[in-house]
Chains A and B, each alone.
Chain A
Amino acid sequence: MPNKDDFSKYLPLTEATYYIMLSLVEPRHGYAVMQTVESMSKGTVKVGPGTLYGVLSTLEKEKIIVKVQEEDRRKVYALTTKGKKILVEQIRRLELMTQNGLQSPIFVD
């Protein structure tokens, strides 16, 4: 009997949280996450240091990310299994949302 995780309370993720989690599929420290988010989103999503710290704190508290290392005063984080599941579910939801949008008569490429 498959055990269905219910992550609906976390979804939808904000744009910042989504990209931060996506950046942490690979272990990274704070500033590297900021740079990765900016390049991945082609500059459309910028994460300021205050926002980043808040999101990382919350994600760590919810056990969505975990500290894997500490270099100087920089903590290196990575997604946990729980975090990966949440991210995959968000990506599927976004895919459906995008498909619906692209197929809408209002959308002209």
Chain B
Amino acid sequence: MNKQTLKKFRLFWAWQDEKEEAWLREMAKQGWHLQSFSGPGIYNFLRGEAKDVVYRMDFRTTTKQDKQEYLQIFQDAGWEYVGELSSWQYFRKEFKPGEELEILTDAESKIAKYQRLLAMLVIILPILIMFNNSMIHQEGSWIVETARFLIILFMLFYIYCVLMILRRISQLKRL
């Protein structure tokens, strides 16, 4: 018998991981459980029992060997591994009173997660700058001008992302 599936398209910014976690939990309460991704923003759900399931996302890249240990620690703590998308690791655990529902339990490790994300973004910036510089001495055909405009737009968006993540970090910092 065929299990019902559902494909949903939704975009969450990198600093909106808590929002995404809450959404996945709502879907689970309606009986839709995350199964896989078809790409960024494309979620594949599998029909199942309506349950209160907590989702948590960790931003983490590991070597192949370290990944085994990483996943084992989560498994031992009762978390089911759903999968990975662009270095975001998805875990879930059924809600039970008294159960620990956080995978990051102090501000320091939460901040470290956003810093890893920033480090990943920082790599893109020199590439964008190089791309833009290589077009400066070109004659102003409309194609070049449009491309340059798009790159500048993208750089502004990129700066916006960095600022939003920095803001998230400053919200987490304590005394």
Contacts and interface: CB of A to CB of B under 8 A. Distances in A.
Interface residues of A, number: 21
- The dominant DSSP class at the B interface is helix
A62 to B, nearest CB: 15
A54 B107 CA distance: 13
B69 interface: yes
Given A53-B70, A73-B69, A74-B69, A31 B105 contact: no
23 contacts: A14-B106, A15-B106, A16-B105, A30-B72, A30-B76, A31-B77, A34-B76, A46-B100, A46-B105, A48-B109, A49-B74, A49-B77, A50-B56, A51-B104, A51-B106, A53-B69, A54-B109, A57-B66, A72-B72, A73-B68, A73-B69, A74-B69, A74-B72
Interface string B50-70: 000000101010000010111
Nearest to B78: A49
B32 interface: no
Contacts of B106: 14-16, 51
Nearest to B100: A46
B169 interface: no
Interface residues of B, number: 24
A82 interface: no
- The dominant DSSP class at the A interface is helix
B105 A51 contact: yes
Given A50-B58, A54-B112, A30 B69 contact: yes
